Amino acid sequence: MAHFKPELLEQLIEVRGASGNEENIRDFILDYIEKNKKSWKSEVTIHSGEGFQDAIVLIFGKPKTAVFAHIDTIGFTTAYDFNLIKIGGPKTIDGMKLVGSDSQGEIETELMIIEDDEGHKSLKYVFDREIDRGTDLTFKPNFNLTEQYVQTPYLDNRLGVLNALTIAEDLENGAIVFSTYEEHGGGSVGFLGRFLYDKYNVHQALISDITWVTEGVQHGGGVAISMRDKAVPRKSFLNRIIAIAKENDIQFQLEVESAGGSDGSMLQDTDLPFDWCFIGAPEDNVHSPTEKVFLSDIEAMMELYGVLMKELN
């Protein structure tokens, strides 16, 4: 049985990859797969490169269901006059540390929130020179592991990626998709879904991503199965997943939210008949540098994915 690998998680978090700029994290994952696939239970076929942008698809055996884990992160783009523009929806906290690199080298800077007389806020970076226009800045890694939880930027979605890489070890039949652009309007799930559907007739998806601690979903309560967010997954697929979780005595929590989206809602917007379900551990301090997830919820997440990928494939 596969387990949580904090070292690999820390490495994944070190690699930068804001939406639209996933080349490095793509290469890291491809390299990891090359080095580790010989120890995996089944043979894997790897699809990447031309026609896949910076995304990756792994195929094991005869797949019926795909795990989608997005490899991009939130961040900021540098604009004119020390301004910053958001990539996705990062929280902004005065003084938060950001890193990146441009034509002049490595950058470590801080975010500054400036409010004018009418209360309009603008985001600036504090640096002794102007950074090249269009440079990506991301949260500075800061990895904290205790016996109970892990706290660091980008658990969303390095943890979803870790989950996908972990279930790859034992997978006999199934697909794993490392998608891009999830945090910023989407853009890869369409062609990835199309590839899976046309080539393998796959039209079931599990969204390996991180959700929110809320009134109804709490730390230590197990992996969250989302019954809906802004989008509504198909009830019959949801019921099958919940039944499998129950039969296998996995600790889970049912989530019901009115807002939020994921690769699941993007799949629903495609011209493809995909059933999908978001399944992930809940985190606190969402989209901030101090995202926090309980280890027991990560274990439950991995356990549920292991079982589902057996029974749905």
Cβ(72)–Cβ(60) below 8 Å: no
* Listed ranges 72-80, 94-102, 140-148, 166-174: which one lies at the site for a second copy (CB under 8 A): 72-80
The contact mask relative to a second copy for 249-268 (x = CB under 8 A, - = no) is -----x-xxx------x--x
Enumerate residues 160-189 that contact a second copy by CB under 8 A: 181, 184-188
Q: Binding residue per annotation — 303?
A: no
DSSP letter at 52 equals S
Q: Binding residue per annotation — 47?
A: no
Give CA–CA dist 257/237, Å, rounded: 18
Binding of a second copy by 64 (CB under 8 A)? no
CA distances from 114 to 51, 88, 119, 233, 287 (A): 42, 20, 9, 40, 20
Can you tell me which residue has the tokens 């990506």?
136
Picking from 164, 278, 156, 186, the residue whose alpha carbon sits closest to that of residue 226 is: 278
The contact mask relative to a second copy for 206-245 (x = CB under 8 A, - = no) is --------xxx----------xx-xxxxxxx-x-------
Enumerate residues 88-147 that contact a second copy by CB under 8 A: 133-134, 136
Pick from 14, 23, 31, 247 the residue near a second copy by CB under 8 A.
23
Cβ(289)–Cβ(13) below 8 Å: no
Q: Report the residue number, 39 or 236, with the smaller CB distance to a second copy.
A: 236
User: What's the number of CA atoms in the CB half-sphere (13 Å) around residue 241?
Assistant: 30
Give CA–CA dist 46/288, Å, rounded: 33
- The catalytic residues are 182
Question: Which sign does the torsion angle of CA 66, 67, 68, 72 carry?
Answer: negative
Binding-site residues sit at: 70, 156, 183, 287
Binding-site residues for Zn(2+) sit at: 70, 156, 183, 287
Interacting residue ranges for a second copy, rule: CB under 8 A? 19-21, 23, 51-54, 77-81, 85-87, 133-134, 136, 181, 184-188, 190-191, 193-194, 203, 214-216, 227-228, 230-236, 238, 254, 256-258, 265, 268-273, 275
